[in-house]
């Protein structure tokens, strides 16, 4: 008898389930640990403390991924194939707060923003009509485009002055991994096609060994067991300005997650109700509370995994639940995390480029549903893309602005979300007088009552 459950709720056999879960972890791992590495370096934290942040980051991401995938009654979790991870939206404000108020204020403000997120999740979810394809498509497109630079830096190297920057061997290795993934996806429609990224990562790592790009010498440095302790930096502090800035960041995370959850629901043919969305956003808010207590970072839907769902067409939320469980294990077994962190950058970067490009493609596909006739939607999209890509193409353009404005305008996703939301609200939701253009020269003007219509020769 055929199972009548939705494909999102079906669980694959245990073997494929585990491999597909591992693939999700490998795809998102480097992007996830990049956030604590960036923050730790900017805040001047010692290596041991940065390692603690990474473990806490993985642990919280795993817990939130489990909640989003499995759910807790009518309280938490969107119940879609979603992997949560630390987003880049919070990094800049956290660095500024650390410099101005200290680390206890960073995590106190994050705790407060998490409580704020839980309180506003349900009301925010009722505003889905304000996130039509013109907004969601613009945000998803810029998420993919803005992250391409991250993958490119991993492939070529992040120091253009280095002699090995963009070396032909790095480019060849990355190109080979990319080609292998494409070939597997093109030739195999079954399980081999679904784990194409995992095969590409493993084959690329094997090829990187003789080229000298695989270094596992530090893979055994981490401890076998180690659960991050709460409030590592002392009792939390709550400066009002810092709390306000991270509450704004939480709203930005909600906007990003809303667009991503709508996109995943469309990919999986699952109806997304305001209640589902509210539970998903509540899980994001909870991530702020857990992050504030456990020295981590607020989570959002990870773009790499969104692209992986689209690529593999594996819609089961139990696959991402396994990925969440694996992330929890990695957060509690630092040595395993150090092994994955040793995967060669050109290999991981090439896979990431595929995922980010697919995310941008998903955004473009969403934009195809936008009604352009007699609307200002083309202008909304154009200005939103400009607003989002300016800080990507000119990273230092807003450096001289006040800190509060730099937090908003310096982040591509934040900028796009706020611009698209505002312009859509002004253009499509507020009452205004619309000028209807007259007939174009190629059109016949309609005849008025009692007057014959003009012939083409009379126009």
Q: Check residue 453 and give its pLDDT.
A: 44
Question: Among 163, 137, 126, which Cα is nearest to 263's?
Answer: 137
Going by pLDDT thresholds of 50, 70 and 90, the confidence category of residue 337 is: low
Residue 114 lies in a domain: yes
Domains contained in the chain, number: 1
Q: What is the pLDDT of the chain when averaged over all its residues?
A: 84
Residue 196 lies in a domain: no
CA 236 to chain centre: 28
Contact assessment for residue 307 and residue 362, using Cβ atoms and an 8 Å cutoff: yes
Per-residue pLDDT tens over the stretch 86-100:
877 788 788 888 888
Residue 178 lies in a domain: no
Q: Report DSSP letters for 143-204, one per residue.
A: HHHHHHHHHHHHHH-S-TTSTTTT-HHHHHHHHHHHHHHHHHHHH--SHHHHTHHHHHHHHH
Residue 269 lies in a domain: yes
Domain extent for 112: 8-159+211-429
H/E segment holding residue 391? helix 377-393
Going by pLDDT thresholds of 50, 70 and 90, the confidence category of residue 443 is: very low
H/E segment holding residue 452? none
Q: Check residue 442 and give its pLDDT.
A: 44
Q: At what angle do helices 240-267 and 345-367 cross, to 10 degrees?
A: 70
Going by pLDDT thresholds of 50, 70 and 90, the confidence category of residue 448 is: very low
Rounded-to-integer distance, Cα 431 and Cα 170, Å: 55
Per-residue pLDDT tens over the stretch 411-435:
788 788 889 989 999 988 776 544 4
Residue 88 lies in a domain: yes
Q: Check residue 218 and give its pLDDT.
A: 61
Going by pLDDT thresholds of 50, 70 and 90, the confidence category of residue 235 is: very high
Residue 21 lies in a domain: yes
Q: Check residue 454 and give its pLDDT.
A: 44
Per-residue pLDDT tens over the stretch 9-34:
999 899 999 999 998 998 887 777 77
Q: Report DSSP letters for 35-101, one per residue.
A: HHHHHHHHTT--HHHHHHHHHHHHHHHHHHHHHHHH-BTTTB---SS--EEE-STTHHHHHHHHHHH
The residues with which 300 forms a beta bridge, in sequence order, are 85
Residue 436 lies in a domain: no
Does residue 271 carry a pLDDT above 70?
A: yes
Residue 176 lies in a domain: no
What pTM was estimated for this model as a whole?
A: 0.76
Per-residue pLDDT tens over the stretch 159-170:
888 888 888 999
Rounded-to-integer distance, Cα 236 and Cα 109, Å: 8
Per-residue pLDDT tens over the stretch 116-167:
999 999 999 988 788 888 998 998 898 888 888 878 888 888 788 888 888 8
Phi and psi at residue 86, to the nearest 5°: -65, 120
């Amino acid at each position: 008898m055929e199972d009548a459950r939705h494909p999102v709720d079906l669980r694959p056999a245990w073997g494929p389930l585990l491999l597909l879960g591992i693939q999700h972890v490998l795809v998102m791992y480097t992007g996830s640990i990049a956030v604590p590495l960036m923050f730790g370096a900017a805040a001047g934290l010692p290596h041991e403390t940065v390692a603690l942040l990474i473990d806490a980051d993985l642990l919280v991401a795993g817990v939130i991924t489990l909640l989003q995938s499995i759910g807790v009654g009518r309280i938490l979790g969107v119940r879609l194939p979603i992997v949560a991870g630390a987003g880049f939206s919070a990094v800049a404000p956290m660095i500024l707060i650390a410099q101005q108020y200290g680390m206890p204020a960073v995590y106190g403000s994050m705790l407060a923003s998490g409580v704020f997120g839980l309180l506003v999740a349900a009301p925010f979810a009722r505003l889905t009509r304000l996130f039509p394809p013109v907004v969601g498509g613009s945000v998803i497109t810029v998420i993919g485009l803005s992250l391409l630079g991250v993958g490119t830096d991993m492939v070529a190297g992040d120091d253009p002055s280095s002699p090995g920057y963009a070396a032909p061997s790095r480019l060849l290795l990355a190109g080979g991994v990319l080609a292998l993934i494409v070939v597997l996806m093109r030739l195999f429609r079954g399980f081999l096609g679904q784990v194409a990224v995992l095969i590409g990562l493993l084959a690329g790592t094997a090829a990187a060994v003789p080229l000298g790009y695989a270094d596992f010498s530090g893979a055994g440095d981490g401890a076998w067991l180690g659960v991050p302790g709460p409030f590592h930096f002392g009792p939390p502090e709550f400066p009002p300005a810092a709390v306000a800035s991270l509450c704004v960041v939480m709203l930005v995370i909600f906007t990003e997650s809303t667009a991503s959850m709508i996109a995943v629901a469309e990919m999986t043919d699952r109806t997304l109700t305001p209640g589902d969305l509210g539970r998903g956003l509540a899980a994001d808010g909870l991530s702020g509370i857990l992050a504030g207590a456990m020295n981590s970072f607020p989570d959002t839907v990870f773009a790499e995994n969104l692209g992986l769902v689209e690529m593999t067409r594996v819609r089961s939320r139990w696959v991402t639940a396994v990925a969440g469980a694996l992330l929890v294990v990695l957060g509690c077994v630092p040595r395993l995390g150090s092994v994955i962190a040793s995967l060669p950058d050109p290999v991981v970067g090439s896979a990431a480029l595929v995922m980010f490009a697919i995310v941008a493609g998903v955004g473009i596909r969403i934009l195809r549903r936008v009604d352009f006739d007699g609307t200002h939607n083309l202008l909304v999209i154009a200005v939103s893309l400009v607003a989002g890509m300016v800080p990507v193409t000119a990273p230092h353009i807003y450096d001289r602005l006040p800190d509060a404005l730099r937090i908003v305008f310096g982040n591509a996703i934040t900028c796009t979300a706020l611009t698209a939301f505002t312009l859509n609200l002004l253009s499509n939701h507020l009452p205004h007088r619309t000028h209807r253009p007259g007939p174009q020269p190629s059109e016949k003007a309609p005849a008025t009552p009692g007057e014959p219509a003009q012939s083409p020769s009379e126009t």
